[in-house]
């Protein structure tokens, strides 16, 4: 098979040209939310390149400015890569001149023979006749048996563009999330309220979580609970403040020890002191011992509540004795508390009680915008800056910027950067130069990215803003995509990504270099019955992982980077709709609900091509090849139907349905030497399109049943169809009805009925698959149609008389539905797939072939579980191989005798035809080695007239 793509030098030129053309024409560029929107006016692609270089330098990688080519697979003939690797600009000029000279009927086209001759003259020896013929068929997607220069150049350019995008997407690290998961699987914890802080201790490889009610947990790196302390903020209140309120009354007794437990607002680890600092709503910041969580020092803030904490110490100077605790308050103050490390260590408890130190007492309190007060007890100083008119909800000190950053819902002073311009010995104190930036509706959170250097903020206006921390006059970019206020931000410095969390439990991953949304993770748990997500934390150590926390912990690892062996590599991120084998090119084409179509080399299992958003934001619901296997036709949930050249992602034409109902099945047929497309949908009708190679948009040739026809084919939505030449069409519907029609005239021939089809109380009446046994169509008394559906029963029909010959339970009595069924070309092998992922292979060569009274049951060749979830598609290949697709996101290849071959996935390029074992490395989802003969467990039933 020849997979021909544009050479790297031409890819770079085309990429630059398309970028320049888009810029000059004002075409849409990168935007947030994964959608195409207007490019931000300050976006500069050169800055993106510089950021990419800086990021790669940080990773220690070598930068290669030439587009990478796919790795050579030694299983292939090396000559197949000549067209990809050796066509340069001079070769293109020669080919263009050949197209100009060689004309066919004055149209400047090349037929297959002239095409082979031209490529042989330009590239010399190395490409075989078969390889050049396959290339011609790939380019000639309109099947007119001629290729002109425009068709050839468009094919090569579009394929190069798509392959470049495919490689870029493959290089992006995204988080591994099961596509069908409605709610993130959270680790159960001792926390009852929302977690307000997640801390990672690098030296010990531990995570620390603290929740609002004061529960603090210590976890291993693999999230195994080691220690847990509950209600660390609970203690007897200051009696001087509350004793009158809590004094027992005569009529009832009140225990003053049962005063309300203060809520924690933030928690930081002071590693060099071996202590925690916790800010609570009782106007205190408390230092706790790391090992026992007993309180050591309480800092009294008088009438302020600390909302955010940040601890910094100059670890580069071993003789340093000064540390800084930064905190922001509910009165809009940003404070720096510098103290002596030795003085804190020297403080001794008195009678087991914590030492209370008043940071802001009534005598020293004044509401000035800047105040400094010495604190002799700890040998330190408190500096207070009044920088916000509303709550100062977050504060961080970034030493590399020498800046203190805070944010607030205040729309005037939303983001404040205070840059230190003078420093006291030891690194604390000094003078500050303050810069403010207003943001509509304020800022709830921010984070600092090292590569590229930027501040990223989020707030109630649902936008992420990217700022230059040295210039806050205006943001560099605004990223849109969230539908609710943004409440937390984390940075992945490994890949230059920012991760944002909004109050509707939506997590988005953004690329700071291209300013685009890469991935969206939505936790669909019911907000009224569970604690919503409160924080996200990205840990860059090791292989990198993301924690999303509420009162539980959800863990996300990069794809292919889990600590244990990969066991469920997926072909697509979303449930699959189909996996189709193309015998012409020996390729397998897969499509999923996410609108992504991928092309795989059936000989090696390598992905050769990919294009996404085939139907915009709509899900792909049906797929099929044309009769010549040159083109791919897809239908979507929004009713759109497109015809593609699946080798380069070119949209050839659009088929316009009368309505926007979901397409449930689609297939190419040939009738009277003319190709038609038959589509069924959720509107009880069958739509017929005539394949017109000259039209870009095609409207229906016919819609059956005709409006004038008083007899409807179906009373419910049509789910499936199959065609038998010369004109028979079988359709099945949701209510269990099966219709046999004359597609040429549009007349209904038979309506097949089976026992129980009219029972409206039966929820499993739907017919999800109909299948003609075309090799038996001339047999007078043989079963020529198979139907199955949600009840898991296969029914054998004689369509001439509309007679149900026999039925059998093909699911071993487990009641699962069968939604995929296929037969081989000789109609002696039947393969089914059910809703639990089980595959059953039958030998049906002697079943229902005549009118004898005693039915010969099918011989069960093998039964095995091929997928974890339901199978939606089965396609038989050469030599009794089959490819299956499932809603678990995988497509897999098996033999009829249950030899499992490595599946198609993003992470592996495996030799698909290796028969040395049942599974590739780490890809087995169960035991596939056993073959079960289940005839004794099946239920068979024969019907008579």
Is the pLDDT at 876 greater than 80? The verdict is yes
Q: pLDDT band at residue 922, thresholds of 50, 70 and 90? A: very low
| Least confident residue range of 28-32, 466-470, 895-899 | 28-32
- What's the mean per-residue pLDDT of the chain? 78
Average pLDDT over residues 371-382: 69
Q: pLDDT band at residue 375, thresholds of 50, 70 and 90? A: low
Q: pLDDT band at residue 98, thresholds of 50, 70 and 90? A: confident
Place of tokens 């206006």: 461
Average pLDDT over residues 265-289: 93
Is the pLDDT at 67 greater than 50? The verdict is no
Q: Answer with the residue of higher pLDDT: 250 or 484.
A: 484
Of the candidates 293, 289, 285, 296, the residue with the CA atom closest to the CA atom of residue 270: 289
The alpha helices in 437-545, defined as continuous H runs, are none
Average pLDDT over residues 373-400: 85
Q: Answer with the residue of higher pLDDT: 918 or 268.
A: 268
Alpha-carbon gap, residue 279 to 289, rounded angstroms:
15
pLDDT at 525: 55
Average pLDDT over residues 163-178: 69
Of the candidates 880, 863, 843, the residue with the CA atom closest to the CA atom of residue 931: 863
Q: pLDDT band at residue 121, thresholds of 50, 70 and 90? A: confident
Alpha-carbon gap, residue 476 to 388, rounded angstroms:
23
**225-229 and 264-270 as β-strands: parallel, antiparallel, unpaired?**
unpaired
207-231 pLDDT, tens digit per residue, is 999 999 999 999 998 888 988 988 8
Q: Answer with the residue of higher pLDDT: 376 or 455.
A: 455
pLDDT at 186: 64
Q: Strand ranges (DSSP E) for 428-502?
A: 432-437, 445-449, 454-458, 463-467, 477-480, 486-492, 497-502
| Least confident residue range of 303-312, 403-412, 689-698, 805-814 | 805-814
Is the pLDDT at 360 greater than 60? The verdict is yes
Q: pLDDT band at residue 58, thresholds of 50, 70 and 90? A: very low
Q: Answer with the residue of higher pLDDT: 872 or 315.
A: 872
pLDDT at 317: 82
908-918 pLDDT, tens digit per residue, is 332 232 222 23
pLDDT at 423: 59
- Helix (H) / strand (E) containing 280: strand 275-280
Q: Which long-range contacts (CB under 8 A, 24 or more apart) does 773-782 make?
A: 773/823, 773/827, 774/724, 774/725, 774/827, 775/825, 775/826, 775/827, 776/827, 776/849, 777/724, 779/849, 779/850, 781/850, 781/851, 782/848, 782/849, 782/850
pLDDT at 901: 54
For residue 516, the cross-strand partners are: 511
State pTM to two decimals: 0.59
Burial of 760 from C-beta contacts in 10 A (0-12 / 13-18 / 19+): exposed
């Amino acid at each position: 098979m020849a997979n021909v793509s544009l050479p790297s030098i031409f890819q770079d030129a085309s990429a630059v040209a398309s970028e320049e053309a888009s810029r000059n024409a004002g075409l849409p560029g990168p935007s947030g939310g994964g959608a195409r929107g207007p490019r931000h006016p300050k976006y500069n692609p050169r800055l993106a390149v510089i950021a990419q270089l800086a990021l790669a330098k940080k990773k220690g990688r070598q930068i290669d400015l030439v587009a990478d080519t796919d790795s050579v697979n030694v299983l292939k003939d090396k000559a197949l890569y000549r067209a990809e690797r050796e066509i340069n600009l001079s070769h293109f000029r020669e080919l263009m001149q050949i197209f100009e000279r060689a004309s066919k009927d004055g149209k400047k086209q090349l037929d297959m023979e002239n095409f082979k001759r031209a490529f042989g003259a330009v590239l010399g020896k190395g490409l075989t006749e078969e390889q050049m013929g396959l290339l011609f068929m790939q380019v000639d997607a309109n099947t007119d048996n001629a290729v002109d220069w425009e068709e050839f150049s468009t094919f090569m350019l579009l394929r190069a563009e798509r392959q470049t995008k495919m490689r870029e997407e493959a290089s992006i690290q995204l988080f591994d999330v099961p596509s069908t998961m409605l709610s993130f699987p959270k680790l159960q914890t001792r926390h009852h309220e929302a977690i307000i802080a997640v801390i990672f201790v690098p030296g010990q490889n531990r995570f620390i979580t603290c929740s609002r009610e004061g529960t603090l947990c210590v976890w291993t790196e693999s999230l195994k609970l080691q220690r847990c302390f509950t209600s660390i903020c609970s203690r007897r209140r200051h009696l001087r403040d509350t004793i009158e309120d809590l004094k027992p009354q005569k009529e009832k007794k009140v225990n003053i020890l049962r005063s309300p437990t203060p809520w924690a607002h933030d928690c930081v680890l002071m590693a060099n002191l071996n202590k925690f600092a916790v800010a609570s709503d009782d106007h205190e910041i408390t230092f706790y011992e790391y090992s026992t969580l007993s309180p050591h020092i309480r800092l009294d803030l008088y009438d302020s509540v600390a909302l955010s904490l940040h601890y910094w110490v100059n670890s580069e100077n071993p003789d340093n004795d000064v540390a800084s605790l930064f905190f922001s308050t509910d009165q809009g103050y940003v404070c720096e508390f510098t103290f002596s490390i030795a003085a804190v260590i020297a403080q001794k408890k008195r009678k087991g009680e914590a030492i209370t130190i008043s940071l802001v007492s009534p005598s020293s309190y004044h509401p000035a915008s800047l105040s400094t007060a010495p604190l002799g007890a700890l040998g330190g100083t408190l500096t207070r800056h009044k920088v916000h008119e509303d709550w100062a909800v977050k504060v961080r000190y970034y030493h590399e910027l020498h800046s203190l950053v805070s944010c607030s819902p205040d729309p005037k002073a939303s983001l404040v950067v205070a840059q230190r311009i003078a420093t006291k010995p030891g690194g604390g104190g000094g003078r500050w130069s303050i810069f403010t930036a207003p943001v509509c509706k304020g800022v709830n959170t921010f984070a600092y990215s090292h590569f590229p250097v930027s501040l990223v903020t989020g707030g109630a206006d649902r936008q992420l803003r990217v700022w230059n921390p040295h210039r806050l006059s205006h943001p560099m970019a605004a990223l849109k995509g969230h539908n609710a206020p943004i409440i937390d931000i984390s940075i992945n410095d490994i890949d230059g990504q920012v991760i944002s969390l909004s109050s509707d439990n939506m997590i988005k991953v953004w690329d700071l270099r291209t300013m685009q949304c890469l991935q969206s993770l939505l936790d669909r748990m019911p907000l009224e019955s569970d604690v919503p997500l409160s924080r996200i934390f990205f840990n860059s150590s090791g292989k990198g992982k993301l924690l999303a926390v509420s009162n539980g912990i959800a863990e996300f690892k990069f794809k292919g980077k889990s600590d244990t062996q990969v066991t469920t590599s997926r072909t697509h991120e979303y449930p699959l709709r189909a996996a189709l084998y193309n015998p012409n090119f020996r390729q397998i084409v897969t499509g999923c609900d996410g609108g992504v179509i991928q092309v795989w080399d059936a000989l090696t299992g390598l992905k050769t091509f990919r294009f996404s958003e085939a139907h915009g934001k709509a899900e792909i619901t049906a797929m099929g090849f044309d009769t010549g296997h040159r083109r791919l036709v897809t239908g979507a949930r929004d009713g759109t139907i497109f015809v593609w050249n699946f080798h380069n992602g070119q949209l050839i034409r659009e088929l316009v349905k009368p309505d926007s109902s979901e397409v449930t099945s689609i297939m190419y047929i040939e009738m009277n030497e003319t190709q038609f497309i038959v589509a069924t949908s959720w509107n009880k009708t069958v739509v017929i399109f005539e394949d017109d190679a000259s039209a870009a948009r095609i409207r229906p040739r016919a819609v059956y049943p005709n409006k004038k026809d008083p007899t409807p084919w179906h009373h419910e939505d049509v789910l499936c169809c199959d065609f038998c030449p010369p004109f028979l069409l079988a359709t099945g519907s949701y209510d269990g009805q099966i219709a046999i029609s004359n597609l040429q005239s549009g007349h209904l021939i038979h309506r097949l009925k089976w026992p129980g089809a009219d029972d409206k109380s039966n929820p499993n009446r739907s017919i999800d698959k109909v299948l003609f046994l075309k090799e038996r169509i001339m047999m007078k008394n043989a079963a020529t149609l198979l139907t199955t559906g949600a009840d898991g029963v296969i029914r054998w029909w004689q369509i001439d008389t509309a007679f149900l010959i026999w039925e059998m339970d093909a699911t071993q009595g487990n009641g699962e539905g069968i939604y995929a069924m296929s037969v081989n070309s000789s109609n002696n092998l039947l393969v089914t797939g059910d809703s639990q992922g089980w595959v059953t292979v039958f030998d049906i060569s002697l079943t229902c072939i005549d009118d004898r009274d005693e039915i010969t049951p099918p011989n069960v060749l093998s039964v095995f579980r091929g997928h974890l979830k339901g199978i939606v598609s089965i396609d038989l290949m050469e030599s009794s191989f089959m490819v299956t697709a499932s809603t678990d996101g995988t497509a897999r290849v098996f033999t009829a005798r249950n030899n499992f071959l490595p599946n198609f996935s993003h992470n592996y390029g495996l030799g698909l035809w290796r028969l040395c074992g049942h599974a590739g490395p780490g890809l087995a989802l169960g035991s596939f080695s056993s073959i079960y003969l289940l005839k004794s467990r099946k239920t068979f039933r024969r019907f008579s007239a």
